Amino acid sequence: MTLIDRYRGRLPVTSRTPIVSLGEGNTPLIRADRLAKAAGLRPGSVHLKFEGTNPTGSFKDRGMTVAMSKALEEGSRGVLCASTGNTAASASAYAAKAGLRCVVFLPRGAVALGKLMQAIMHGAEIVEVAGNFDAALKAALRIAAEQDFTVVNSSNPFRIEGQKTAAFEVAEVLGRAPDFQFMPVGNAGNITAYWKGYKELGGARTHMMGFQAAGAAPLVLGHMVRDPKTVATAIRIGDPYSKASALAARDESGGMIGSVTDGQILAAYRFLAHEEGVFCEPASAAGVAGLLKLARAGRKPRGTVVCVLTGHGLKDPDTAARFAPRRRAFTPGRRFEL
């Protein structure tokens, strides 16, 4: 069953909406006892919502199935987005499936290799922007409005509607919403979507704990960042579109939005792959880095904890390659000691 069919009653679709699906959603919630131990928490209290198993390898697919289905229903002439990579990869694939034109505005030199390859293979029209994501988004919104293209960034409310289904899945598996949720924050659509999802389930109780990279932390600093910098290119965003709803999620839930350094992000990224067997992309590890940072400062969460891992590690082979281990040589015919 498609994600839209599974949650049809809670999504803005009708029997006339043509569904564009690639088999998104229904991602695993993985018990993470080594992570729990590292954070000083009880076994069984920490889970990873691994969104890397979505069709294009990120959570964007949940929103894209709804946004693309609605674009098709509305007779759109084409879709357009600005992206740090994952939105572009997802839009490219779903537009290919829908048979719609897809134009992606990408910050030059700042998109992980795997994401760029996805956009290329799905036949998107790629526009290189001489500037960062914030400049690309501004241009994309203006050009799409002028020329009547459908924007499939998270400014499109159908994206948020689709992405809130992840909260439903988490609550279904746990039997109720978690006490704490740790997640990365970039353009701030996903924290907005999860909070909407938990609220729709009633009795919202999950503390929303969002983490930005220290070099790209406008929601922590309280002002936009002109030249955002971080190894986690997915969240290299200085002026988040959904900042108001992200701050509302933080305040309504009694949560926080904090920052983690690139060193903390890469340590969490490596820990998850090494100790939990889950390979996510660097940005995805920001929430886990935040959990470990708070735990080390003696601010341990109580109850059940979910960390959202937003994208697959294979998206960004160049960052993984930095961790090249010692390699041993084998010569055929010689004995090899294990």
Name the residues that contact ligand AN7, by CB under 6 A.
58, 83-87, 154, 184-190, 234-235, 281, 283-284, 310-311
- Comparing C-alpha atoms, which of 229, 233, 197, 194 is closest to residue 214? 229
CB of 168 to ligand AN7, least distance (A): 17
138 or 300, CB closer to ligand AN7?
138
Tell me whether residue 55 or residue 311 sits nearer to ligand AN7 (CB atom).
Answer: 311
| 110 close to 135: Cβ distance less than 8 angstroms | no
Which CB, 189 or 258, lies closer to ligand AN7?
Answer: 189
In the complex, least distance from residue 166 CB atom to ligand AN7, rounded to whole angstroms: 11
Q: How far is the CB of 57 from ligand AN7 (least distance, A)?
A: 9
- Helix 286-296 × helix 262-276 angle, to 10°: 100
Report strand pairing: 180-184 vs 29-31: unpaired
Question: Exposed, middle or buried by CB within 10 Å (0-12, 13-18, 19+), for 284?
Answer: buried
Tokens read off for 330: 């084998």
254 exposure class (CB count in 10 Å sphere: 0-12, 13-18, 19+): exposed
Alpha-carbon distance of 185 to 169, in angstroms, equals 20
Q: Which is nearer to ligand AN7, 106 or 305 (CB)?
A: 106
Least distance (Å) between residue 37 CB and ligand AN7: 25
Nearest distance, CB of residue 162 and ligand AN7, angstroms: 12
C-beta of 58 vs 65, nearer to ligand AN7: 58
